[in-house]
Amino acid sequence: MKQKETLSNIRLNGDKIDLSDVLIDEMGDNHVSTSVDTPMREDAFVLTDAEKIHAIEKHFRSIMEIMGLDLNDDSLKGTPKRVAKMYIKEIFSGLNPANKPNVALFENKYKYNEMLVEKNISFYSNCEHHFVPIIGKAHLAYISNGKVIGLSKLNRLVQFYAKRPQVQERLTMQIGTDLQKVLGTEDVAIVIDAKHLCVASRGVEDDTSSTITAFYGGKFKEEKTKNEFLKYLELKTEF
């Protein structure tokens, strides 16, 4: 009786291949996102930051040793601790809701009812499929419904959501929906233009392409308002 082939015993040119590995690789290369919310376990914050750093340090030390690196070398011996601290305190600090910036709103006393645009907000994130950097700029706009937000808070909101394993589509949606909630208005727009090092430094190794995503809510779904916003992004505002 012929053995039934499973995901783990398919053979190609005589070599045994695991199709589950193939599917995982394809998901990463095809830039698949599974949820607007960052996938988190229910026990994500049982451990303290210090406990997480200690655990990651041990695991990253094992990874380096498996790769054959000599951790007795002066240049390498502190790397596991540095990486662990970087993960928790810096590049993935946006995973912890306790690090979300406090956003204060102010009365729009000067009755500015036109579009406000904050462009060229630089951010660094990391691709959740390969844990390599995403480097880009975010352009935000909103129309006040009676409240305004401090300009620096727009930058901080972008940075908060960027500092977690991401895909660009989710990052765009998370910033857009949160900004709508904070401002109490649907009239919010975002364009993000970013370079993905998972594309530039591995796989297809294309270091010239970039990815653009957009979010349009409320009045920004109207062509006139959307085009006005996009026109502002073309202005040369470098100083």
Active site residue 139: no
**Geometric angle at alpha carbon 81, from 79 and 86, rounded to 5°:** 90
Active site residue 174: no
Long-range contacts of 170-176 (CB under 8 A, 24+ apart): 170/33, 170/35, 170/36, 170/38, 171/125, 171/213, 172/213, 172/214, 172/215, 173/36, 173/215, 174/36, 174/37, 174/38, 175/138, 175/140, 175/215, 176/215, 176/217
Q: Which of 129, 139, 159, 174 is catalytic?
A: 129
Q: Which of 130, 169, 180, 228 is catalytic?
A: 130
Q: Which of 57, 128, 166, 174 is catalytic?
A: 128
Active site residue 127: yes
Q: Which of 57, 127, 139, 159 is catalytic?
A: 127
Active site residue 168: yes
The DSSP result for 44-102, as a single string, is: TTSS-HHHHHHHHHHHHHHHHHHTT--TTSTTTTTHHHHHHHIIIIIITGGGSGGGSPP
Active site residue 198: yes
Q: Which of 57, 166, 174, 196 is catalytic?
A: 196
Q: Which of 159, 166, 168, 174 is catalytic?
A: 168
- Residues classed as catalytic: 127-130, 168, 196, 198
